[in-house]
Structure 1
């Protein structure tokens, strides 16, 4: 039986590093992202759908010592696209949602070949 190759991570914004993530939170984020790369669908409590950003968009939840991190991602057919990484206190800020929508639209445009080189 052939093994499905892992989907690459495409980082459009943000990173997972220590600091500001604790070492434990960084390991948890890496573990969850690896599962996504292998094609697993994550559900609550680790991930929740974010249809307000776009199709196949989700919010990964990573608990840290004093805060909760969010990683907004899009599952494409051949990649896991990271749209943003931020610390969340109450609700996802509208500015984050708007920026994620904009990044996703730009990614889809480029991935579909819609962006041409200018002469």
Structure 2
């Protein structure tokens, strides 16, 4: 069963700002998640919350899509950004945490 896809905050606009090749890859990976599969390159983001994952895209730079799919209501894209350093910036983690909290408050 395919889950609906929801974008929190500016995540959809941020996704649209990616280069077309990276955006296509992000769409492919999110489609896998919607269908119940894991992305091809990902890592759990336990510091954001239970069930949060980061999709890693290596096309024309480094791009990340942080999402949570553990809720039956759908897949929630929390944050989309370009990764410029080896460690994920604290501001990006905090933004994803805040958006995760918004979802949990509605449940």
- Kept in 1, the 8 Å contact 2:30–2:39? The answer is no
Which consecutive residues of structure 2, in runs of 5 or more, have no partner in the other structure?
none
Computed over aligned residues only, the root mean square deviation of the Cα atoms, in angstroms, reads: 1.4
* Greater Rg over alpha carbons, structure: 1
Aligned to 1:8: 4
List structure 1 segments (4+ residues) > 3 angstroms apart after TM superposition.
none
- Write out per-residue CA displacement over residues 48-95 of structure 1, whole angstroms, 9 at most, x where no aligned residue: 100000000011111222x11101111122211111110002211111
2:83 aligned with 1:88 = yes
| Alpha-carbon distance, 1:34 to partner | 0.3
- Does the residue aligned with 2:43 lie in a helix, a strand or coil? strand
**How far apart are 1:106 and its partner, in Å?**
1.2
Higher relative contact order (CA 8 A, sep 6+): 2
Is the Cα contact below 8 Å between 1:21 and 1:64 reproduced in 2? no
Question: TM (normalized to structure 2)?
Answer: 0.86
Answer 1 or 2: which has greater helix percent: 2
**Paired residue total:** 102
Give the corresponding residue for 1:41.
38
Unaligned 5+ residue runs, structure 1? Answer: 113-119
Alignment of 1:12-91 (within 5 A): 12=8, 13-15=10-12, 16-17=15-16, 20-42=17-39, 46-65=41-60, 67-75=61-69, 76-90=71-85, 91=87
TM-score by length of 1: 0.78
